[in-house]
């Protein structure tokens, strides 16, 4: 049986054939899953400063409904079981989460919504909010070079094998493996060893670095990484152990490799991460990266 039985695609009100739509259609066709497509139309509200808001809102809803009907016809003709709806809302996050609760999808698919840096200082981007609140796996699509992914990379963190969130590594690898299997894609494993993290601060002793300590820690982490790869039968040529600042290194890796989907984990964030954004959230800002974000099994 396929891993995916119900796929949920979120589209905007701009009525374009986007990379996320192409990826959702390809996954639905390959897996036999049903596809529900929802157009989320953010309600115009000028507080009475401009008349006709209600008429414009209704017109946008009708245009979206007609566009979805045309797209659904094409999807049906390609053998995909599809349903559609249009949601007019002032709260896009709340509306999407309500639909997730009703549909219980195996995967939510959405185009990456890139925001200017100054906007992120004023409000939390929609994608970041979904990463923090949505309970189901989410596939954020930036660009599609092939309808189905050919290389799926699981990003893992073996730095603390005894950590209570270590089961997230297993969840990430399982999600990546399932996606790769259904798409006949290669499964790769990635870890970025950030030298800034290999100091005594990690062990509660301040920020003083002991000579040779970072090298020893790196070797230890690499060994755990190799053991994790061996446990999941990932061959050496598909193992990527990098040393650099995490977010930049991941972006460079994606840009210079043939990675189609990067599978990353979501876990409860500390206060600072909630204010500045987690690694997964910042990776979404890279225009070449398609991310599948999963949470640890409760």
Q: Tell me the DSSP string of 90-101.
A: S-HHHHHHHHHH
pLDDT of residue 14: 84
- CA distance readout (Å), 213 to 192, 197, 206, 217: 18, 11, 14, 6
The pLDDT tens digits for 223-259 are: 999 999 999 999 999 999 988 777 778 888 888 888 9
Give 114's pLDDT tier (boundaries 50, 70, 90). Answer: low
Residue 22 confidence (pLDDT) above 80? yes
Contact 147, 22 (CB under 8 A): yes
- CA-nearest of 155, 233, 229 to 193 is 155
Q: What mean pLDDT comes out for the span 205-227? A: 69
Contact 259, 151 (CB under 8 A): yes
Give 163's pLDDT tier (boundaries 50, 70, 90). Answer: low
Residue 274 confidence (pLDDT) above 50? no
CB atoms within 10 A of CB 225: 22
pLDDT of residue 240: 95
CATH, domain range 151-295: 3.40.50.12370
Residues sharing a CB contact under 8 Å with residue 285, sequence separation 6 or more, in sequence order: 114
Q: Return the higher-pLDDT residue of 231 and 278.
A: 231
Q: Return the higher-pLDDT residue of 198 and 109.
A: 109
SS3 content of the chain, % helix, strand, coil (to 5): 45, 20, 35
**Whole-angstrom Cα distance, residue 9 to residue 276?**
27
pLDDT of residue 149: 95
What are the φ and ψ backbone dihedral angles of 36, each rounded to 5 degrees? -110, 125
pTM of the model: 0.84
Q: What mean pLDDT comes out for the span 90-96? A: 95
The one-character DSSP state at 207 is T
Residues sharing a CB contact under 8 Å with residue 21, sequence separation 6 or more, in sequence order: 9, 11, 37, 71
Residue 264 confidence (pLDDT) above 70? yes
Contact 38, 9 (CB under 8 A): yes
Residues sharing a CB contact under 8 Å with residue 104, sequence separation 6 or more, in sequence order: 6, 136
The pLDDT tens digits for 182-193 are: 999 999 999 988
Angle between helices 19-31 and 53-77 (to 10 degrees): 40
Name the residue ranges covered by the structural domains of the chain.
6-141, 151-295
What percent of the chain is modeled with pLDDT above 70?
Answer: 76
The pLDDT tens digits for 132-145 are: 899 999 999 998 88
CATH fold for the domain made of 6-141: Rossmann fold (3.40.50)
Q: Return the higher-pLDDT residue of 202 and 116.
A: 116
- CA-nearest of 126, 118, 132 to 89 is 126
CB atoms within 10 A of CB 223: 11
């Amino acid at each position: 049986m396929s891993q995916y039985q119900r796929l949920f695609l979120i589209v905007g009100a701009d009525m374009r054939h986007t990379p996320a739509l192409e990826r959702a259609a390809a996954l639905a066709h390959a897996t036999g899953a049903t596809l529900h497509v929802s157009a989320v139309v953010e309600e115009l509200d000028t507080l009475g400063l401009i008349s006709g808001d209600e008429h414009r809102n209704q017109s946008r809803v009708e245009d979206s409904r007609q566009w979805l009907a045309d797209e659904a016809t094409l999807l049906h003709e390609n053998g995909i079981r599809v349903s559609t709806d249009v949601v007019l809302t002032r709260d896009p996050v709340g509306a999407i989460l309500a639909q997730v609760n009703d549909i219980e999808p195996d995967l939510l698919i959405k185009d990456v919504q890139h925001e200017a840096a100054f906007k992120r200082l004023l409000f939390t981007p929609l994608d970041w909010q979904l990463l923090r609140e949505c309970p189901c796996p989410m596939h954020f699509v930036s660009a599609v070079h092939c309808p189905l992914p050919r290389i799926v990379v699981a990003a893992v963190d073996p730095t603390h094998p005894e950590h209570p969130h270590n089961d997230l590594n297993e969840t990430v690898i399982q999600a990546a493996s399932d996606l790769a299997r259904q798409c006949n894609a290669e499964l790769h494993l990635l870890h970025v060893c950030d030298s800034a993290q290999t100091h005594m601060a990690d062990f509660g002793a301040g920020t003083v670095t002991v000579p040779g300590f970072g090298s020893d820690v790196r070797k230890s982490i690499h060994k755990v990484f190799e053991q994790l790869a061996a446990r999941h039968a990932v061959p050496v040529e598909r193992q990527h152990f990098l040393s650099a600042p995490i977010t930049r290194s991941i972006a460079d890796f994606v840009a210079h490799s043939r990675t189609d989907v990067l599978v990353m984990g979501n876990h409860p964030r500390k206060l600072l991460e909630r204010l500045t954004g987690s690694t997964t959230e910042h990776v979404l800002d890279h225009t070449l990266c398609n991310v599948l974000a999963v949470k640890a099994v409760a």
